[in-house]
């Protein structure tokens, strides 16, 4: 419980990277999976929706159990569930079996998503905004590392099934690391978690932050999930080129979150989010119209920087602004964020199937417009 980096901080960074790796396998391997299992655009988007549906459901349960059992057993079990689901996916012979496997991965991801940010607040209660941005920076770093490694393996001829097995091993090792780590002693609550949830949901300000995190998470997921497919359809057909697109976007996210950790105290989190929203609106409006790989990469980098701050900064601002139990508050906001994480790519897939994928990408600037409107409401609440 200090403002210094601890050993558990570093383990949490690794957990974020493994969680990211499990989430990026499907979009990176989507063209190969689609060929093997004969899936459509909407079914491709449905894969992400299936994984995030279980994250959504487990988040609530994990928040309740954390109050009763503590965070350590949940962190450990989350990693093991990701490992089991990834191994199952590697043996899937049809679409329903793959969906079930992704749901198991989603269960592990839901536990991780519920616990990781409240754990950071336990470790750094006095400067949680800074450390939430630092810890969450390792999610896009994990995507970058995974995209580079997995994209290269796909280019070398390894199957998508092997990629899922790599992810399973990484999650299993991370589970062992959490198992031997010492967690902070935090008082376990006797109060009903459901009553605490009801109290949070009754706060009018909660719903402003909820809509904002839904939109911010949706943008993040959409650009991560569909970038490789966009490159392969419209710009370049080598797996490496599409994987680099994911790396570029995630690199922008990592840079943006590390910058946000510095800037949030200098200019204030709301100004930081307002500037990011305007930059994101401008940049993503041009994405569907580019015709060269270099231009697409450049816009993805700027989009990553613009998108980076929303998830951790919204959590930090909500914690400081709303009088509520911090673990339950973060869990409920994460539930809504995960809904956006799954639904926006699915909606883009549906638009891609009935019109084309470029039209689906126009949903992203629409999300930034919504973010600008929500930030205005946050300002009005404060003033």
pLDDT confidence of residue 280:
94
The stretch 305-333 carries a mean pLDDT of: 86
pLDDT at residue 383 in the model: 45
pLDDT tens, position by position, 177-188: 998 888 877 665
pLDDT in tens, 137-169: 898 888 888 878 887 888 888 888 999 999 999
pLDDT for residue 46: 63
Q: Over 70: is that where the pLDDT of 129 sits? A: yes
DSSP 112-174: HHHHHHHHHHHH-TTSHHHHHHHHHHHHHHHHHHHHHHHHHHHHTT--HHHHHHHHHHHHHHH
Band (pLDDT 50/70/90 cuts) for residue 3 is low
| pLDDT greater at residue 60 or residue 32 | 32
212 has pLDDT over 90: yes
Sign for the pseudo-dihedral over CA of 206, 210, 211, 215: positive
Q: Are 336 and 213 in contact (CB under 8 A)?
A: yes
Q: Tell whether the model's pLDDT for residue 200 goes beyond 60.
A: yes
> Per-residue pLDDT tens for 297-313?
999 999 999 999 998 89
How confident is the prediction for the chain on average, in pLDDT?
84
Residues contacting 60, CB < 8 A, separation 6+: 197, 331, 332, 335
Residue-range domains of the chain with CATH: 7-180+192-382 (1.20.1250.20)
- Alpha-carbon distance 167 to 361, whole Å? 28
């Amino acid at each position: 419980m200090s403002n210094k980096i601890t050993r558990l901080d570093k383990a949490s960074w690794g957990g974020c990277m493994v969680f990211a790796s499990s989430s990026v396998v499907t979009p990176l391997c989507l063209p190969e999976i689609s060929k093997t299992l004969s899936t459509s655009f909407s079914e491709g988007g449905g894969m992400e929706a299936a994984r995030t549906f279980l994250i959504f459901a487990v988040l609530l349960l994990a928040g309740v159990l954390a109050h009763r059992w503590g965070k350590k057993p949940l962190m450990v079990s989350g990693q093991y569930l990701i490992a089991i689901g990834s191994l199952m996916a590697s043996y899937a012979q049809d679409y329903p079996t793959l969906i079930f496997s992704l749901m198991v991965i989603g269960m592990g991801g839901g536990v991780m998503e519920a616990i990781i940010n409240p754990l950071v607040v336990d470790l750094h209660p006095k400067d949680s905004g800074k450390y939430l941005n630092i810890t969450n920076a390792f999610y896009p770093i994990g995507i970058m590392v995974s995209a580079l490694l997995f994209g290269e393996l796909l280019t070398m001829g390894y199957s998508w099934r092997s990629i899922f097995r790599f992810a399973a091993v990484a999650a299993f090792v991370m589970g062992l690391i959490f198992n031997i780590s010492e967690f902070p002693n935090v008082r376990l609550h006797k109060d009903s978690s459901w009553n605490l949830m009801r109290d949070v949901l009754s706060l009018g300000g909660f719903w402003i932050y909820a809509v904002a995190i839904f939109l911010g998470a949706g943008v993040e997921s959409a650009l991560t999930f569909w970038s490789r497919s966009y490159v392969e359809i419209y710009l370049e057909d080598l797996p490496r080129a599409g994987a680099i697109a994911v790396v570029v976007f995630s690199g922008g996210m990592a840079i943006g979150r590390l910058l946000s950790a510095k800037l949030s105290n200098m200019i204030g989190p709301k100004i930081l989010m307002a500037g990011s929203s305007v930059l994101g609106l401008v940049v993503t409006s041009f994405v569907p119209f580019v015709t060269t790989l270099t231009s697409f990469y450049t816009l993805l980098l700027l989009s990553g920087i613009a998108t980076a701050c929303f998830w951790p900064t919204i959590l930090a601002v909500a914690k400081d602004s709303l009088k509520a139990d911090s673990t339950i508050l973060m869990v409920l906001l994460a539930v809504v964020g995960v809904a956006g994480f799954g639904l926006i790519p699915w909606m883009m897939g549906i638009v891609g199937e009935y019109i084309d994928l470029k039209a689906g990408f126009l949903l992203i600037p629409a999300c930034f417009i919504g973010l600008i409107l929500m930030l205005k409401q946050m300002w009005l609440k404060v003033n």
